Structure 1
């Protein structure tokens, strides 16, 4: 059966089934969109700001909470969570959406030790959202940085584990699944933000994990020429490009931070959070254009490496993200939003 015959047959079956049911199938309410909590270090690498602006323009998800999270010790002055909250509000204000979303600061620092942890405003808000009985649709935690606030929420109320799915940009490549990169064995940045929190989520919790490790999120290349086109679309595009342009100066103020070499591309490594939560086809609402393997959740080690664990709960490890649909959709939504605001 060729594709056209299959499509006609499928449509005929759907219409026929609806007729037999008195049209109820055609009149049925659409499924509720997924609820997505956004958690990112918005005061750090500006790729999270692209992800935030893109995510809030997607109608396939609802966003009950946006959390600005902290940076790792070597990059931190101690107030990045508050700065991240302010930066997120800045983006939403430019978009005219500052009244549409709840934005809060996450914990100001990582969990110091497994035996000493303290819940905060953000972790309490996560628990409230996860434990709601009046909400429909799955709850997804889209994290583009560390996992402090999610870990604090689970430690506070372990029952949220069965009510939430984590999509995490972070972690080393898995052996045999991807390229190790130029510095094999180096601690991955998002893991380094809060190793204890990441270990709590992997090793202790029952939260389902969809992981986008370093070798995969680094594939999300957006060219400088595309940034120039983006800047010309309007105030949002100009703001986002300015944040990328300011990155070398920001890094220069951080002791020990690397000097960025000249490049014609920028890595929008947090954008898979949009791809894997919002850009799903209607007939099969799953990540059909990206690639992943299912494996037992390994034990996460102190250095960010993995120890196989045969009895671990199943997790997805993505090996390739559909950057084409991600960035085409992002640019189209930004252009449409700019025309509507004009």
Structure 2
């Protein structure tokens, strides 16, 4: 393989017990040599996946299990946050503390720190409330919100957390809203075939997709959105083939309007097969 140099340090936060596309995003980040994961945290899930009690820890357990299957034990410590929504009151918990410690740890090299959140912003809000000074030390890449102000899963799961985080003027934010991350789709047939033929990690992920519990009103169609993988264009890959709008403010506020789905999906399955 051509030697790929690390280009960023990564903190990953997601509701790993929710839609399993988040676990594909975790596997993709873990297998990408262009980034260096320094912390992983797990957040609460939307009630559509069942009562929230215990779901943050269940997500942490799933993420750790996947990393063990991928034979990446050095990454397999995932810190669970609370199962309750952001209250606006300081609360010290394992996920918030892991984020703070990872940001504060610093680095001897000069690669940027990106916190990738593809779920509700609960853990990020808790960390920023506990230690406001960390806001200037990382960039948030968030999968969530809507350019047209539509109801969006990651935002309405914990809207108070989203407001608190996005209102922080010291924080750089690269946002992948609903209209953009919905572009990242794969056919169910390709997803099924590609996972089942990609070794133990693919088989493990295939099982998660085929056993996901959702309410009866959710009906699956011929496509599956892998929106949680959208931030790979600013971490493990490059956004040279993507489009975004950026404000003149500092720190950077950027909204991605287009992502290269083919690049992301092809890179993931190639890395999964090569790893196997």
Aligned pairs (5 A) from 1:316-335:
316-335=254-273
User: 2:195 aligned with 1:230, yes or no?
Assistant: yes
User: 2:31 aligned with 1:68, yes or no?
Assistant: no
Q: How far apart, CA to CA, are the structure 2 residues paired with 1:53 and 1:66?
A: 12
Q: Give TM-score, length-normalised by structure 1.
A: 0.74
Partner of 2:228: 270
**Higher RCO (CA-CA < 8 Å; seq separation 6+):** 2
Aligned pairs (5 A) from 1:154-193:
154-174=128-148, 186-193=150-157
User: 2:12 aligned with 1:38, yes or no?
Assistant: yes
Partner of 2:242: 290
Per the TM alignment, residue 205 of structure 1 is displaced from its structure 2 partner at its CA by: 4.4
- CA-based RMSD of the aligned residues comes to 2.0
Partner of 1:106: 81
Q: How far apart, CA to CA, are the structure 1 residues paired with 2:199 and 2:36?
A: 25
Question: How far does the alpha carbon of each residue in 1:306-327 deviate from its partner, in whole angstroms, 9 at most, with x for none?
Answer: xxxxx89641111000111101
- Gaps of at least 5 residues in structure 1 are 1-29, 175-184, 281-286, 297-310
Q: How far apart, CA to CA, are the structure 2 residues paired with 1:65 and 1:94?
A: 18
Per the TM alignment, residue 290 of structure 1 is displaced from its structure 2 partner at its CA by: 0.8
What SS does the aligned partner of 2:173 have? strand
Larger radius of gyration: 1
- Report which stretch shifted further, 36-45 or 103-112: 103-112
Which of 132, 135, 160 does residue 105 from structure 2 map onto?
A: 132
Q: How far apart, CA to CA, are the structure 2 residues paired with 1:241 and 1:148?
A: 28
User: 2:218 aligned with 1:259, yes or no?
Assistant: yes
Per the TM alignment, residue 31 of structure 1 is displaced from its structure 2 partner at its CA by: 7.2
- Gaps of at least 5 residues in structure 2 are none
Q: Give TM-score, length-normalised by structure 2.
A: 0.91
Number of residue-to-residue matches in the alignment:
270
Partner of 2:118: 144
Q: How far apart, CA to CA, are the structure 1 residues paired with 2:107 and 2:198?
A: 39
User: 2:69 aligned with 1:94, yes or no?
Assistant: yes
